[in-house]
Chain A
Amino acid sequence: MASDRSNGSDYTGPLRRLLLVVLILLLGATFLLWRIDSPRVERFRAQVTDRLVPNLDWAMAPVTGAINLLRDFQSYQRLSEQNKELRSELRQMQAWKEAALQLEQENARLLDLNKVRLDPRLTFITGVVLADSGSPFRQSVLLNVGSRDGLVDGWATMDGIGLVGRISGVGQNTARVILLTDASSRIPALIQPSGQRAIVAGDNSAAPPIDFLENPDLVRPGDRVISSGDGGVFPAGLLIGQVAADPGGRLRVRLSADYERLEFLRVLRHYGTENVTDTAQIITQDGPLVQPGEGISE
């Protein structure tokens, strides 16, 4: 017995060795399957997350709260300093508030005159952030709303101000949001006021770079970046952020959404933009009059 054990055969007996080989092969096969048929495995991943993470929520919420409380406590030391800053900001805000109120009244009057109806289908669902991606390699958060609430892959997610990311992976009760900062995130964007189209491509940094810009000379730091709606996945006109140039001269987007604290996120319901496909036809008493060659629709 003693000589057996010194050879370590207790842990590497034939049966154990077989089990180990089978396990290693299974894990390798899982990886290959993921590489070949990614959507299926990703759906499985979403289901596993969906089963496990909401169960931990009762513990996660208070622990997160406690840690955030501690962090806040550290910032109390700079309280008077912050107070002074806030007062000056508040004065500026009051001026803006006056301007906003006047504009709001004017806007309401104009809308009334025009009898404009805003798109009633552009509504949103608000979700609470349950968990983050758990590793610095990926930038994503998990929301507590899922297919139960009618969520669909690809919908846009915002905080109160700007675009945060895109839904990717929906479970029954949870949905994953790939943030704009993730290395796999690509969002078609429009830069105002020059009207240049570009792609905001995440690269795991706080300010994603702007790619595929046709004419960089027309774009200046400080320009607004909004979603362009190209490709039909995203609604157009959502604020992404402002252009900024990094020390290397590369154009990046300073995101408007507050990524420091993502707590509540809005998921915009979006059923695709409808395209006008048929050519214009004039309806007469004898039915539609087809006019080939005359481009009224242009």
Chain B
Amino acid sequence: MNDLSQTRLWLMRGSFMLLTVLILFFQLLPLETTPRIWAGPDLLLCFAMAWSMRRPEYVPPLALALAFLLADLLLQRPPGLWAMFALMACENLKSRGRSLRDANFAAEWITVGLIILVITVFERLVLGLVLVDLPLLTLTLSELGMTLLFYPLVVAITHFLMGVRKTAPGDLDALGQRV
């Protein structure tokens, strides 16, 4: 039993990295070369938060940091800044995970929304402080809105398709012990 859980743990950690590469792959496809006035959702952040909420052991900080830094590098963002805030957000969510475990989805959605709003504001503040050109406000706001809109969908995919669910009483954890 123990052995099986360990295998599953590393399998799921591997699939998170695979998911990261897959999301980046579809974002990098050369389909949009004209400027758009709105931005799509930050799916990587959605999935990272949904997974952090449900199974923190599948997304260790190192994996999160690597995934976000890779996204920063490949998507031409200032490297490290968004990664740092996103990592903080996910870890914050992990520490709340236990208290939110029994709450309904609306509470989770509101918490996630507030956290994303806070890190977006902080990112713009820091970018302004170090005098980097700020991205257009409309783009940032539309990305924020789309991320929040897509979060329930991402949670549904996480829950039903990927089988990453909240630990319920009686479940076995990664070490094969009852939670």
Contacts and interface: CB of A to CB of B under 8 A. Distances in A.
Interface of A: 1, 5-6, 8, 11-12, 16, 19-20, 23-24, 26-35, 41, 44-45, 48-49, 52-53, 56, 59-60, 63-64, 67-68, 129-142, 179, 181, 183-184, 204-206, 259-262
Contacts of A5: 179
B37 to A, nearest CB: 8
A136 B32 contact: yes
Contacts of A142: 28, 30
Interface residues on B, range: 35 or more
11 contacts: A16-B61, A24-B88, A28-B81, A29-B80, A41-B79, A48-B70, A130-B30, A131-B29, A140-B76, A261-B33, A262-B30
B160 interface: no
- Pairs A-B, 6 closest by C-beta atoms: A30-B80, A31-B80, A27-B84, A131-B28, A134-B27, A138-B76
Interface of B: 24-40, 56-57, 61-62, 65, 68-70, 73-81, 83-84, 87-88, 91, 94-95, 97-98, 130, 132-133, 135-136, 139, 177, 179
A206 B135 CA distance: 16
Contact of A260 (B33, B76, B81): B33
A138 B72 CA distance: 12
Contacts of B65: 23, 26-27
Nearest to B64: A23
Most chain B Cβ neighbours within 10 Å, of A29, A31, A34, A142 = A31
Most chain B Cβ neighbours within 10 Å, of A28, A140, A260 = A28
A239 B95 CA distance: 57
Contacts of B39: 135-137
Contacts of B38: 136
Contacts, number: 151
A234 B25 CA distance: 33
A27 B80 contact: yes
Given A23-B65, A67-B29, A132-B31, A8 B84 contact: no
Most chain B Cβ neighbours within 10 Å, of A131, A134, A137 = A134
A64 B87 CA distance: 31
A31 B79 contact: yes
B179 A23 contact: no
B62 A63 contact: no
Contacts of B136: 137, 183, 204
A41 B139 CA distance: 25
Contact of A64 (B30, B77, B79, B130): B30
A272 to B, nearest CB: 27
Nearest to A135: B75
B51 to A, nearest CB: 13
Contact of A67 (B31, B74, B80): B31
Nearest to B177: A1
A181 B25 contact: no
A135 B29 contact: no
A11 B56 CA distance: 8
B74 A64 contact: no
Given A12-B95, A135-B27, A139-B33, 5 more contacts: A28-B81, A35-B78, A45-B76, A135-B77, A262-B33
Most chain B Cβ neighbours within 10 Å, of A53, A63, A133 = A133
A34 B76 contact: no
Contacts of A20: 61, 87, 91
Contacts of A1: 177
A133 B25 contact: no
A138 B76 CA distance: 7
Nearest to B56: A11
B80 A34 contact: yes
A28 B72 CA distance: 13
